[in-house]
Amino acid sequence: MVGQGISLRRSYLFVILTGIFLATFFVVTPRSASAAACTAPSTDYGTVSNLTMSIPSTGTYRIWTRMAAPNATDNTYKLEIDGTTCYTVGGSTVPTYASGATTYFTSGSTNWISKTSGGAQIDVSLTSGNHTLKLIGNAPNVVVDRLIATQDTACVPTGTGDNCANPPDTTNPVVSITSPANNATISSTTTVTANATDDTAVTKVEFYVDGTLKATDTSSPYTYSFNPASNSVGSHQLTAKAYDAASNTATSSVVNVTIPDTTPPVISSISSGSITQTSATITWTTDEAADSQIKYGTTSSYGSTTTLNTTKVTSHSVSVTGLTAGTTYHYQVVSKDAAGNSSSSADQTFTTQAPAADTTAPTVSMTAPSNSSTVTGTVNVTASASDNVGVAGVQFKLDGNNLGTEDTSSPYSVSWNTTGTSNGSHTLTAVARDAAGNTKTATTITVTVNNPTSDPADINQDGSVNLLDFSLLASKFGQSGSGLGRADINQDGSVNLLDFSLLAGKFGT
């Protein structure tokens, strides 16, 4: 490498030795004059004559000049090699510097030129030994501060040009994938990171998936975003390939990764068939082998589930049994593939066959109170009932009128406050009903009501209607149901304004 600092300016030229020396560089030093092959320019802008460079081995060398020009017109100088070859170096590619600037070059700048003004590459065949150079000013204020000759013709100088070596770089980079780890499972977008080094510099790292180039990174840290959604489920091989400026390459060891199956089966062709009063068969298909199961019930909350069929197939058939005739059922099919991904269908319905006409009436009998008994206060009236299909409800009757509301669940009973019924003989019975509307009336029983005959408004039964009675009524006011006692004066099931009115009408008596 030529380690010479040179400035070509109008009417004079000066040389500054930079003092830089590296084993791979050729150092230029002044020596005695020799014949010139370059034609002198019409105006003399200064000449640096007879510089010597020592070539250690015969070969082809590329000549690079670090230079800058004051403007886009004055941008060349003449370079003569061994007194016979003349190059006009520079031209339109030479960077210009601002007028009056004191610094023309910056660290890492690209002010390096290796072509003539005509665009020809300056590649020179040189034998080992000493060779002479002459730099001739061809335009005013052109600045040349460094010149190198390198056998590494692929190298582009940066900074002071120390990156271009002699002889050519034949050392391969070293590269390895540092992330993800070998045999990793990748289920989301993951950064693949490579570490690459070189004796000069790494120019780029390529990333490959299964041998196919996916990305190129030119700066460290070298990374590639691996998206599993863009690759098939299963195993893949990741490799990285590093390059240096001399086109030396190296390929990393293989890193194996696995993309898991995260896609659930696709369910289609859902159908219900073979429907009876108590069963139905559900069929469907999946786009991959999967398990089978049914959720079902009388609402979309389901509540029941069939046994999981683990025979992984794509055509599914599941029977649902133990159903009620004439009932609409909601169901949902569920399939799970070998990787554990599960799919559930939208809500579906089917209706079981209607039952045969039910013409059999329930049976019913009174169980309390006993026939011909005497009752007072609140009495629990009960009955037993059964049916060949099922009892829907039992309605109790007092003297032929409904006593309370129909009881729809066994044991069947109703609470009767006899104080609201006149003393004397009364009849009780019960009517059982099934879902088909068949009814049966129990044998009527007769009971005698025998409650005290005091004024109903005399709640505390002290012989007069007074403030104590008002206090007892007020403590129960607004309540309904059982436990009201005599505060429910009119025995309508709640303590309200009617009771208050009845008490007020008797107050003081």
Residue 372's region, left for phi above 0, alpha for psi from -120 to 50, else beta, is left
Query: What is the per-residue pLDDT for 9?
Result: 34
Phi, psi of 468 (to 5 degrees): -60, -35
Mean pLDDT, the chain, integer: 86
Q: Which residue intervals of the chain bear CATH 2.60.120?
A: 4-150
pLDDT in tens, 66-122: 988 888 899 999 999 998 889 999 998 888 886 655 566 655 456 899 999 999 999
Query: What is the per-residue pLDDT for 191?
Result: 97
* Token couple for 62: 């590329």
What is the average pLDDT across 322-338?
Answer: 94
* Token couple for 67: 């230079």
pLDDT: which is higher, 178 or 162 = 178
pLDDT score of 17 more than 70: no
Query: What is the per-residue pLDDT for 26?
Result: 32
pLDDT in tens, 424-455: 999 999 999 999 999 999 999 999 999 877 77
Residue position matching structure tokens 């009336």: 441
**Is the pTM of the predicted complex or chain greater than 0.75?**
no
pLDDT in tens, 283-322: 999 999 999 999 999 999 999 999 999 989 999 999 999 9
| Residues 159 and 31 sit within 8 Å (Cβ to Cβ) | no
CATH fit for domain 4-150, picks 2.60.120, 1.20.1440, 2.40.30, 2.30.30: 2.60.120
Alpha carbon distance, N-terminus to C-terminus of the chain? 135
β-pairing verdict for 143-150 and 4-9: antiparallel
* Confidence class for position 34, pLDDT limits 50, 70, 90: very low
Residue position matching structure tokens 């269908």: 345
Query: What is the per-residue pLDDT for 331?
Result: 97
Distance CA 468, CA 246 (A): 115
DSSP letter for each residue of 112-127: EE-BBTTS-B-EEEE-
| Residues 52 and 29 sit within 8 Å (Cβ to Cβ) | yes
What is the average pLDDT across 213-235?
Answer: 94
- Angle at which helices 467-476 and 497-506 pack, to 10 degrees? 180
CATH fit for domain 363-449, picks 2.10.109.10, 2.60.40.10, 2.40.37.10, 3.40.640.10: 2.60.40.10
* Confidence class for position 19, pLDDT limits 50, 70, 90: very low
* Token couple for 105: 């070059």
What is the average pLDDT across 196-216?
Answer: 94
Task: Give the SS3 label for residue 241.
Answer: strand
| Residues 55 and 131 sit within 8 Å (Cβ to Cβ) | yes
CB-CB neighbours of 73 under 10 Å: 10
CB-CB neighbours of 506 under 10 Å: 17
Q: Which residue intervals of the chain bear CATH 2.60.40.10?
A: 174-259, 267-351, 363-449
Residue type, 153: T
State the number of CA atoms in the 13 A half-sphere of 163 facing the CB: 20
Q: May I ask the CATH architecture of the domain 267-351? A: Sandwich (2.60)
Distance CA 458, CA 468 (A): 9
What is the average pLDDT across 405-416?
Answer: 96
DSSP letter for each residue of 189-236: -EEEEEEEE-SS-EEEEEEEETTEEEEEE-SSSEEEEE-GGGS-SEEE
- Superfamily the domain 174-259 falls into: Immunoglobulins (2.60.40.10)
